[in-house]
Amino acid sequence: MSKGINVMGTEDKENPIDFFDTLTDALGASESVSKEDIVADLKEEEIDVDASVKRILAMVEHASQQAKRQQLEIAREQRLALELEKPTRLGEFLNWTKEQIIEKINQLLPTNGPLASVSYRDLESKSQEDLAALLEGIISTKEMAEQERDNES
Amino acid sequence: MVNASEEGKYNPKIREELEKADWKEISFKLLWYATSKAKMLRAIGIADVDPEDLIQEAISLAYGVGPNDTYRNWNKELYPDLVGFLISVIKSIVSHKKENREKFKTQTIDDDFGDKDLKPLSPENPEELVTKKHDLAKLKQAIYERVKGDEEVGMVLLCFEDRISKPQQIAEETDYDINRINNALRRLRRKTKDLAPTT
């Protein structure tokens, strides 16, 4: 930038809108201006600052409530989706052999932790229906955990 | 603005920080910025917008509940503080409105197109656009005339020509102390006050 003052030297600049955009950004920049100065300035503009701030706080509250409702709605939809999947999946597992179900359960169970102590014999002693329900439960728990991880990231 | 159906998604973690923010302090700054922006938009004939409408839309977008599932994610590398982020959202709303206005000018009246909150100040044809550009140049010239003799404000305006708007950057560019820049901005604000009525 040339540092000489050339108050009339503006003809060569292309778009005057860019100039006004920059000007308003600068006039509204608050990083090094005190709150008192901001309030005084707004009052000079004949703005009822207290009333405006009150309305802005209400906007924040409204957006916050809307966001919470949205979050609840998403959680509800996810729960419903899982519920809807259940019968189909359970029905599918009931067509598997006991060995197939046990093999799948063993694949899904963590190698350490409380569930790791479930032995082949424990599983063998269960009915096919119980095993299918157990497999369904393990898969649903895993899906929910993954869903939570996704939401957090 | 980003639509939920587009790539990526809203990060709800932002909400935790929004909930903890000191909104009263933030409100003053947002009001100040939005008032300045709205006033100038009116002065240069782009649009008649209410500063509080700009703030409301920015807050909704930040919370991920903008109109038609739109949202804005907070990039903390670009905007470390919340005020800076919200101001960037207001800027993008304004530029979106300007784009819509450009499109609006090329649509027929029957088209359901354009921003319904945007009230064009006047219908425009090519001749009027030329006139407007001329008017803007005149308005800009008038600002230069008003600050004639005020060396610091003159330097600040030259920074604007180079699209430098942050007071700290202006201070670095001009080698002036930041307080001198802030005082110059205050004088400029006063001198340009009557350019457009407050909306």
Q: Which of A23, A21, A27 is nearest to A44 (CA)?
A: A27
Matching residue, tokens 């407050």: B198
Token pair belonging to B96: 């979106």
The whole-angstrom separation of Cα B37 and Cα B31 is 10
Query: Is the confidence at residue A3, as pLDDT, over 50?
Result: no
pLDDT in tens, B83-98: 999 999 999 988 877 6
Contact B161 A10 (CB under 8 A): yes
User: Is A35 within 8 Å of chain B by CB?
Assistant: yes
pLDDT in tens, A11-63: 445 677 888 889 888 888 877 778 898 898 888 888 999 999 999 999 999 99
Better-scored residue on pLDDT, A57 or A81: A57
- φ/ψ region of B69 (left if φ > 0, alpha if ψ in -120 to 50, else beta) reads left
Domain residue spans in chain A?
A: 28-152
Token pair belonging to B83: 């005020």
Residue-level pLDDT at A10: 43
Q: Which of B156, B136, B8 is nearest to B69 (CA)?
A: B8
ipTM above 0.85, yes or no: no
Min Cα separation A138/chain B (Å): 28
Mean pLDDT of B104-132: 49
Mean pLDDT of B151-164: 94
- φ/ψ region of B8 (left if φ > 0, alpha if ψ in -120 to 50, else beta) reads left
pTM of the model as a whole: 0.67
User: Is A73 within 8 Å of chain B by CB?
Assistant: no
Domain residue spans in chain B?
A: 2-106, 126-195
Q: What angle do CA A107, A113, A117 make, to 5 degrees?
A: 70
Query: Is the confidence at residue A64, as pLDDT, over 90?
Result: yes
Q: Is B196 exposed, middle or buried (0-12, 13-18, 19+ CB in 10 A)?
A: middle
pLDDT in tens, A87-143: 667 778 888 888 888 888 888 877 665 555 566 667 888 888 888 888 888 888 888
At residue B71, the 3 state secondary structure works out as strand
